[in-house]
C-alpha cells in the first residue's frame, strides 16, 4: 500500500497529559503536510488548533477520556463544548462498567445522546477491547450499529492493550454496513498500519506513523 494512502487514513494523535501548545502545533503542521485524516488532540486545545489550521485539517477530540465513566450528561456537555470550539470529529469512550453489568439500553441511549450532540459530525465510539470479552465486543458492534455512530474504535491507548488484528477482524464481521472501524493503540510500523487497513479498518489512531515517515523521508516528502 502506498505510504500516502496510509497517511490519509491516520488520525495523527497527541493525547499525553503533558502536551503543550508547541507540540500540538507541530502535529497540526505535520497533519497538514502529510494529509492525515485528522489530528486527535485534547479538548483544551481544540479552539486554538481549529483557528490555527482553518479548513486545512480536521480536528478530532476525545470525550469521557480515557476511563469512560463520566455521566451521560457530562459526555454530552463535553461534546457540545468541543463542537462550539471547532471540533470536526468526536471520539467518545463507553462506560465499560455498564458493559460488564450488561446495561445495553443505557449504553445505546448514551451513544445516541452523544451522536445527537455531534450535530452531524463524525462520532467514533471507543470500546477498549483489552477489557472486554469476545461476546462483549460482538454486543458492542450491535449496539454501535444501532446507535447511528459512524465508527467503532478499539482502544484509548491508555489501558492495558491497544489494537489487535484479531479485534479488527472481529469488528469487520459484526458491525453493520454503515459503521466503519478505527484501530488505535500500539500501531508502531507501516506494516502494522497496512495490516489493519487490509483487515477492514478505515482509520488509524496513531502518534508514530507520521514520525516514522518523517524519519524515513525527511523534508523531501
Q: What range defines the domain where residue 149 resides?
A: 3-216
Contact 91, 62 (CB under 8 A): yes
Q: Is residue 221 part of a domain?
A: no
Provide the β-strand partners of residue 122.
89
Is the peptide bond prior to 105 cis by the omega test (within 30 degrees of 0)? Answer: no
Distance from the Cα of residue 136 to its chain's centroid? 19
Burial of 7 (0-12, 13-18, 19+ CB in 10 A): buried
Q: Kindly report the CATH number assigned to the domain that includes residue 9.
A: 3.20.20.70
Question: CA-CA distance, 209 to 31, in Å (whole number)?
Answer: 11
Would you say 19 and 206 are in contact if contact means Cβ atoms under 8 Å apart?
no
**What's residue 220's pLDDT?**
43
Q: How far apart are the first and last CA of the chain?
A: 17
Q: How far is it, in rounded angstroms, from Cα 58 to Cα 52?
A: 11
In a domain, 50, yes or no: yes
Query: Rounded distance, CA 2 to CA 171, Å?
Result: 24
Q: What is the predicted pLDDT for the residue at 218?
A: 53
DSSP one-letter code for 59 = E
Residue 73 lies in a domain: yes
Per-residue pLDDT tens, the chain, 221 aa: give them.
Answer: 899 999 999 999 999 999 999 999 999 999 999 999 999 999 999 999 999 999 999 999 999 999 999 999 999 999 999 999 999 999 999 999 999 999 999 999 999 999 999 999 999 999 999 999 999 999 999 999 999 999 999 999 999 999 999 999 999 999 999 999 999 999 999 999 999 999 999 999 999 999 999 888 654 44
Which residues carry out catalysis? 91, 153, 182
pTM of the model: 0.96
CB environment 71-110: b (16+ within 10 A), e (fewer): ebeebbebbebbbebbbbbbbbbbbbebbeeeeeeebbeb
Asked whether residue 203 is assigned to any structural domain, the reply reads yes
Q: Can you give the pLDDT at residue 139?
A: 98
Query: Is 194 inside a domain boundary?
Result: yes
- Rounded to 5°, angle at Cα 98 from 106 and 44: 85
User: Is 171 within the bounds of a domain?
Assistant: yes
Write down the pLDDT at residue 221: 40
Tally of domains within the chain = 1
- The upper half-sphere exposure of residue 112, i.e. CA atoms within 13 Å in the direction of its Cβ, equals 10
Amino acid at each position: 500500500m502506498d505510504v500516502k494512502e496510509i497517511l490519509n487514513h491516520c488520525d495523527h494523535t497527541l493525547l499525553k497529559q503533558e502536551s503543550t501548545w508547541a507540540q500540538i502545533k507541530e502535529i497540526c503542521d505535520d497533519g497538514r503536510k502529510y494529509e492525515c485524516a485528522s489530528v486527535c488532540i485534547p479538548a483544551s486545545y481544540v479552539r486554538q488548533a481549529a483557528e490555527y489550521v482553518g479548513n486545512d485539517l480536521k480536528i478530532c477530540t476525545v470525550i469521557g477520556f480515557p476511563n469512560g465513566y463520566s455521566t451521560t450528561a457530562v459526555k454530552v456537555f463535553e461534546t457540545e463544548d468541543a463542537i462550539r470550539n471547532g471540533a470536526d470529529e468526536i471520539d467518545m469512550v463507553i462506560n465499560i462498567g455498564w458493559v460488564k453489568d450488561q446495561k445495553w439500553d443505557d449504553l445505546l441511549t448514551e451513544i445516541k445522546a452523544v451522536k445527537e450532540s455531534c450535530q452531524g459530525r463524525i462520532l467514533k465510539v471507543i470500546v477498549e477491547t483489552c477489557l472486554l470479552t469476545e461476546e462483549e465486543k460482538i454486543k458492542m458492534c450491535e449496539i454501535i450499529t444501532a446507535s447511528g455512530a459512524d465508527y467503532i474504535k478499539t482502544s484509548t491507548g491508555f489501558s492495558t492493550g491497544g489494537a489487535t488484528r484479531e479485534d479488527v477482524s472481529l469488528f469487520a464481521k459484526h458491525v453493520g454496513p454503515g459503521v466503519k472501524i478505527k484501530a488505535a493503540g500500539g500501531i508502531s510500523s507501516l506494516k502494522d498500519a497496512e495490516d489493519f487497513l487490509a483487515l477492514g479498518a478505515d482509520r488509524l489512531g496513531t502518534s508514530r506513523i507520521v514520525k516514522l515517515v518523517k524519519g524515513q523521508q525527511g523534508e523531501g516528502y
